[in-house]
Structure 1
Amino acid sequence: MRIVYALGTSTGGVGTHVRALARDMAAAGHEVGVIGPAATDEHFGFSRLPGVRFAALELGAGLGVGDAALVRRQRALLRSFDAEIVHAHGFRAGLITLLTLRTLRARPRFVLSLHNQASGHGLRAKVETQVETMLARGADLVLGASTDLVERARELGASDARFLPAAAPKVEQISAEAAGTARARLAAEYSFSEGAVIVLAVGRVARQKNYPMLVRALGRLGEEPGVGHSPAEDSDGDTDDPALVVLIAGAADEGVLADVRAQYDQLRAASAVPPLHFLGARDDIAELAAAADIYVLTSVWEARALVLQEALMAGKAIVATATGGSAELVADAGILVADDDDRALAEAVAELAVDPARRAELGARARSRGAELPDEREVADKLVSLYTELL
């Protein structure tokens, strides 16, 4: 088959998913093209994949007068690829692709993958609903990364909407020795005891991740006996290291990061709270996860977070918000709390911080659940059968 993937700007799950699809489809002998921003190619290396052709299309974040030029550019690209299947990922890439296909006489089959829900308010929400409806009705097949996205597409009039997970890459197995080394390195770098309970969050510092919820939970944890700072002093008069430390690994929207830092600093000035460190973008997530004791995800909404899948496969004790596809992904392999419920988050983390046996139990459940998840090749094979059905 001749398959073209279209996507917008991405530094996370969507780009990771499309890269895996392009790689596996090309390895299976299909002709594969990828259309997207040059920066996305730089991040994921589509043009370096064997058997994959990449073409740049600079998709902006919103509707604009330049969309007509994007349609013309994509039309020329699709003709050069001679695509049988065009598979767009996300609202922006989906919209430009649908507009482009409407200008073609010989139209390839159009598949749309939804990875996020529309989140606008007021007038923006109305516009987003109109775009969602147009896409749902214009695609030959809509794929949702979580079942709520599938249901939404059907409500908006999709003729064929199905669930297809975005699988996480294979998790690197980290030895106990390497995990201990990572813990020691983190303790030295951020000045906490190697015996501290490490709470790890992985994900971009952005509005969707709702780190203010985590900060408010830290304020509550500072009030918990046995969690947070210990009041005891050593022989030099210095206070002991904190019993719990929170690490956030991921790139940041600078404005959001500044707001979260200010919120945390205000709390810390008023009372003793567990320390919080922003690690920035990292390439050692597997080592960080191995060193951590508790994994938290506070997102307002997630379809099927790759980092949550990775935490399951790594056997971490998980506390996550029960939003989008997270509840069906985690099931009983972690503790689920309501969206933005910082009290419930604090209670769950406090429970796990003082109970290693409970952490071990949840970690074992997580690993068992992670072993059941489909891998990238299985998702690609399922997609081939869907493409074949369309053709």
Structure 2
Amino acid sequence: MSSTQVPPRGRAQLHVVQVVGSGSARTCAHVRSLAAGLVARGVRVTVCAPRTTEPDYGFTGVGARFVPLTDCTEPEAAVALRAVCGDADVVHAHGLRAAALAVPALYGRRRRVPLVVTWHARTRAAGARARLMRLLERRVVRAARVVFGTTSDLVDRARRHGARDARLVPVSLAVPRAPSRAPSPAADGAETDGRREKIRAELGATGRPLVLAVGRLAPRQGFGTLLTASRAWRGLEPPPLLAVAGEGPDRPALRRRIEAEELPVRLLGRRGDALELLAAADVAVVPARPEGRAVVAQEALRAGVPLVAVAAGGLPELVGDAALLVPRGDADALAGAVAGLLADPARRRSLAAAGRAQAATWPSEDETVAQVLSVYDELTAG
């Protein structure tokens, strides 16, 4: 990707404001990737996001201007955003909270600035909050010129709420860069095997299968179902170890269950080496409906790790036939799917190959940027 800043299509430089309402890792990583690609194509980019996101994601490091939206109330944030958007050609809000800030910031302007909204995930709520969220969804999607949904169900939901134009735009993951000095294939393979065995030894999975799950330890994330499934694995020979990477409010309750029921489970806490953990696993598990396109599922398929996941949300669309899908909340089905894979090396190899092939069909970062930029051009033409 070229880093030369040239105004696209021979016209004045486009100014795009990217608005982020929360510090979601998935959303911030996507916005950083988008900002880098747009800047490389000659677009002037301003990122408005919580102050805490800049140190972690370095939006200014890829050439964007950064404007923090924290330390103030939402009305104050909308006023600040209105000033930033004064000379914007397009405002692109990521998530409902970001869109809720952008809509009043753009209201009543003499020059209409098109609003694009990317709906990364559906907000889960109940009771009065659920009704409030539905009203917010309707307001946001009807104000937007274009709504991007990261899954087909989000696109359909936007259309039901009255979106003028709703499109499916899968969000790509950044592909880890290859090392600058590539060792020989034999040396590289030996080094990879060595790292894999070291990680397995650290986790206590030497001589036994390793099953990995990654996620926030919170209600409705499926970890209770996963622990129930792990009971059935105690009778396998050798019994697999279930490692769970992540932190959250349910950790104490999960820990009590593990100890009381003597489950073959280890809680790893928050980890920054998810890709290496996946590479060391025999099977990866996504035990609950993911929000948007499950990052762990994408990483597992790219790494060639057999995946067992729930048939919910955007997962079936994401993985196709490259993973085993089970009903949500069905511990017996989950236990059986994992046990079946552990007993069938040929099936694991087949799924690993299918996973890599499926991952190759997903858009690259460059393709995602080009697709989004084409919509910006469409909205600002003439």
For the criterion TM > 0.5, the same-fold answer is yes
Say whether residues 1:333 and 2:322 are aligned partners: yes
CA contact (8 A) 2:92 2:118 kept: yes
Q: How does 1:88-99 map to 2 (within 5 A)?
A: 88-99=93-104
Deviation at 1:353, TM superposition (A): 1.3
CA contact (8 A) 2:258 2:265 kept: no
Equivalent position to 1:300, from 259, 275, 289: 289
Equivalent residue, structure 1, for 2:214: 202
CA contact (8 A) 2:209 2:238 kept: no
Q: How does 1:129-208 map to 2 (within 5 A)?
A: 129-171=134-176, 175-193=188-206, 195-207=207-219
Q: How does 1:1-391 map to 2 (within 5 A)?
A: 1-49=14-62, 51-58=63-70, 66-79=73-86, 82-171=87-176, 175-193=188-206, 195-207=207-219, 209-222=221-234, 224-226=235-237, 228=239, 244-250=240-246, 252-253=247-248, 255-268=249-262, 273-282=263-272, 284-391=273-380
CA contact (8 A) 1:209 1:297 kept: no
Deviation at 1:208, TM superposition (A): 5.1
Aligned-residue sequence identity (percent) comes to 35
2-structure distance, mates of 1:182, 1:59: 43
CA contact (8 A) 1:216 1:342 kept: yes
TM-score (norm 2): 0.89
1-structure distance, mates of 2:18, 2:276: 32
SS in 1 for 2:293: coil
SS in 2 for 1:204: coil
Deviation at 1:145, TM superposition (A): 0.3
More moved, 213-222 vs 130-139: 213-222
2-structure distance, mates of 1:59, 1:154: 34
2-structure distance, mates of 1:279, 1:292: 17
SS in 1 for 2:158: helix
| CA RMSD between the two structures | 1.9
1-structure distance, mates of 2:71, 2:108: 18
CA contact (8 A) 1:171 1:310 kept: no
Q: Over residues 54-106 of structure 1, what are the superposed CA-to-partner deviations in whole Å (9 max), with x where a residue is unaligned?
A: 1000289xxxxx22211111112222xx2111000011111111121115332
CA contact (8 A) 2:120 2:150 kept: yes
CA contact (8 A) 1:167 1:306 kept: no
CA contact (8 A) 1:3 1:86 kept: yes
Q: Over residues 155-204 of structure 1, what are the superposed CA-to-partner deviations in whole Å (9 max), with x where a residue is unaligned?
A: 010010000001011146794323322333223323332x3211122333
Change (3 A) 1:158 1:11: closer
2-structure distance, mates of 1:113, 1:73: 21
Deviation at 1:211, TM superposition (A): 1.6
2-structure distance, mates of 1:277, 1:179: 24
1-structure distance, mates of 2:278, 2:58: 25
Deviation at 1:26, TM superposition (A): 0.5
CA contact (8 A) 1:9 1:59 kept: no
The number of equivalent residue pairs is 359
The unaligned stretches of length 5 or more in structure 1 are: 61-65, 229-243
Deviation at 1:310, TM superposition (A): 1.7
